[in-house]
Chains A and B, each alone.
Chain A
């Protein structure tokens, strides 16, 4: 398939209502078809989950169909990842994620809320989720919620978002008039085509239905910038833990950041003295 040009989006009105209409309602509708196309974990995420300590409990914020909940597959039951998502229909799928018949723990909730004891998780992942939030401020809040959800002492965080920079295998291409080195991402809508066989049998429409999902495609450096801003607002220093004797300093280290298969990622580790 030839690369398609994506249509720009303009976020209007209340961003929460905009997300309800242009993200949440769509996932609720396309849940089972969407899930059937999402099965392969990305390598960096699989490696991150494989490196977790036995006995750890984590949060998958925006878990979708829960494809990361069964990982690491070779150490079942040694860590527990709890999935949070806005879509009830996706969670019905997520609770059975993996082929083992093991039941997963999932919770309906918003990634902008923290319905947990503060700092109780050992790790948190947010994969392909923050790019669905319609303003910079909301994306920053989502990062703050992740930083608050994990242990201030040793909590680990992995965030993945969609990049303007797409690989050649991708079916998609960003808006044509793009600046070659943008510093701020692009708001776009990405069509999801649901053919008639995939919709409910009661539905009598002959033409395929197209759902336009809202995405904020991140520019290079934008994700790390967002982490810096979120950390600053929480009073965290963004640097590796120093060999210092000063007490009561809290910080977050950027362990790695980069680009993988049309996405930007950042891995973080919290620390305190």
Chain B
């Protein structure tokens, strides 16, 4: 499963790839929407750890434009519900993620991303 909650934490870890290695770019994705229970308290706690611009841009690539470009100061219910949907209800089932720096491709199969590297690619 790769939802944007996880995507926002992942970074390329190939040998010598330490800068501009986030966010990984989705390619050829198949999406599935699954409803998840809304938990505003979780979202409030998690919000400071998000890389906001990466989240907004990635959501846009996946066809969701509900999030504002700037993180709002007032966290109203409508905003939190949109954030909930983007982070926890959009599942990338198939496709891949490409590192913006070194171009390494991490495949996603049956909803599970594969972050393993070959021995010579490990830093």
A57 pairs with B9, CB closer than 8 A: yes
**Which residues of A have CB within 8 Å of B117?**
113
Q: How many residues of A contact B (CB 8 A)?
A: 36
> What is the 8 Å Cβ interface bit string for chain B, positions 24-66, against chain A (1 contact, 0 not)?
0000000000101101011111110101000000000000000
CA distance in complex: A53, B42 (Å): 9
The 8 Å CB contact of A113, one of B13, B43, B44, is B13
Which chain A residues (88-141) contact chain B, with CB distance < 8 Å? 88, 91-92, 95, 102-110, 112-117, 120-122
- The contact size tier of chain B is 35 or more
A80 pairs with B42, CB closer than 8 A: yes
| A71-79, A195-203, A220-228: which lies at the interface | A71-79
Q: With A56-B45, A109-B116, A120-B9 given, is the CB distance from A78 to B1 under 8 Å?
A: no
**Which residues of B have CB within 8 Å of A105?**
1-3, 5-6
With both chains docked as a complex, state the minimum distance between the C-beta of A271 and any C-beta of chain B, in angstroms. Answer: 18
With both chains docked as a complex, state the minimum distance between the C-beta of A133 and any C-beta of chain B, in angstroms. Answer: 15
CA distance in complex: A53, B119 (Å): 37
A113 pairs with B91, CB closer than 8 A: no
With both chains docked as a complex, state the minimum distance between the C-beta of A159 and any C-beta of chain B, in angstroms. Answer: 21
B49 pairs with A120, CB closer than 8 A: yes
> What is the 8 Å Cβ interface bit string for chain A, positions 14-50, against chain B (1 contact, 0 not)?
0010000000000000000000000000000000000
With both chains docked as a complex, state the minimum distance between the C-beta of B123 and any C-beta of chain A, in angstroms. Answer: 9
A57 pairs with B10, CB closer than 8 A: no
B45 pairs with A115, CB closer than 8 A: no
CA distance in complex: A112, B91 (Å): 27
**Is A180's CB within 8 Å of the partner chain B?**
no
With both chains docked as a complex, state the minimum distance between the C-beta of B38 and any C-beta of chain A, in angstroms. Answer: 8
Q: With A82-B9, A103-B1, A107-B6 given, is the CB distance from A53 to B116 under 8 Å?
A: no
B42 pairs with A54, CB closer than 8 A: yes
B45 pairs with A55, CB closer than 8 A: yes
B44 pairs with A55, CB closer than 8 A: yes
CA distance in complex: A116, B112 (Å): 15
A108 pairs with B112, CB closer than 8 A: yes
The 8 Å CB contact of A16, one of B1, B51, B111, B119, is B119
Nearest residue (CB) in B for A105 is B6
**Which residues of B have CB within 8 Å of A77?**
36-37, 39, 42
Q: With A54-B45, A78-B39 given, is the CB distance from A116 to B1 under 8 Å?
A: no
B114 pairs with A108, CB closer than 8 A: yes
**Is B110's CB within 8 Å of the partner chain A?**
yes
Q: Offer 27 A-B interface pairs, CB within 8 angstroms, sorted by A.
A: A16-B119, A54-B45, A55-B42, A56-B46, A77-B37, A79-B42, A80-B42, A80-B46, A82-B6, A95-B112, A102-B37, A105-B1, A106-B1, A107-B10, A107-B115, A108-B112, A108-B114, A108-B116, A113-B115, A113-B116, A113-B117, A115-B11, A116-B10, A117-B11, A117-B51, A120-B49, A122-B49
Chain A residues at the B interface, C-beta cutoff of 8 Å: 16, 53-57, 76-80, 82, 84, 86, 88, 91-92, 95, 102-110, 112-117, 120-122
